[in-house]
């Protein structure tokens, strides 16, 4: 079951993927996919201390992070990771019912 987490006032906060990459103990990976000949970057986030990929995709719009999508059932782990990022980068988020 997936869940969507949105950043509050993401346009004002202006957080980028580079900002996420700058947080210690967090690894952001980029996967480039082609759809109808157009390359699209999809970013995933890892908690280095956990040692396992968390299925957390970063949602971006015009270079700004607007939210995260969780694809696995580890709700608590995803929530903790996003909370950690929120504290480090000074943003608040809320879960959208999916």
Beta pairing class for 26-35 and 64-70: unpaired
Q: How confident is the model at residue 51 (pLDDT cuts 50, 70, 90)?
A: low
The tokens of 34 are what?
């082609």
How many whole angstroms separate alpha carbon 59 and alpha carbon 4? 9
Q: How confident is the model at residue 15 (pLDDT cuts 50, 70, 90)?
A: very high
SS3 7: strand
Mean pLDDT, the chain, whole residue set: 82
pTM: 0.78
Q: How confident is the model at residue 1 (pLDDT cuts 50, 70, 90)?
A: low
pLDDT in tens, 86-98: 999 999 998 887 5
Express the helix, strand and coil content of the chain in percent, nearest 5 each.
Answer: 25, 45, 30
Evaluate whether 44 touches 56 at the Cβ level (below 8 Å).
Answer: yes
């Amino acid at each position: 079951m997936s869940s969507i987490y949105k950043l509050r006032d993401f346009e004002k906060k202006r957080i980028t993927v580079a900002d996420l990459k700058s947080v210690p103990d967090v690894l952001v990976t980029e996967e480039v996919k082609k759809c109808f000949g157009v390359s699209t970057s999809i970013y995933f986030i890892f908690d280095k201390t956990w040692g396992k990929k968390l299925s957390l995709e970063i949602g971006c719009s015009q270079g700004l992070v607007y939210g995260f999508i969780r694809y696995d059932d580890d709700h608590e782990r995803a929530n903790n990771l996003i909370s950690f990022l929120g504290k480090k980068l000074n943003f608040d988020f809320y879960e959208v019912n999916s």
